[in-house]
Amino acid sequence: MLERQNTMRNSIAVRTSTNSNDLGALLARRGADLILAIEDGNALIRCHVSSATAAAMLAPLKGKAAGQFRPLPGNLVEIDAAVALPVAMLMMEAKSAMEKKLN
């Protein structure tokens, strides 16, 4: 278990789920477009956002976002990534800034 925790702390992002229907249903039940869970200095970000917002949110991963997102119908993108807490904060700030810009 300790080895797994160290691996997660040292990695930039890890894909956590492949089933968008489950994530979509979870978001709908909570009436949210983003779920953020924080544990031991790491964060799990799960959301459905526009492609422009997704691009802004994934920018802090500096090209290491492969497997962290997948396109959905209607110009939406599913992000399901485990990241270090500072990166999560950058992703949240990018989401907020892009949504303000789009509105």
For 44-64, b/e burial (b = at least 16 CB within 10 A) is bbbbbbbeebbebbbebbeee
* pLDDT band at 31; cut points 50, 70, 90: confident
For 46-101, the pLDDT digits (tens) are 999 999 999 999 998 887 776 688 888 999 999 988 898 999 999 999 999 998 99
How many CB atoms are located within 10 Å of the residue 84 CB? 18
For 2-12, the pLDDT digits (tens) are 333 433 433 34
Q: What is the pTM of this model?
A: 0.71
Distance separating alpha carbons of residues 53 and 14, to the nearest angstrom = 20
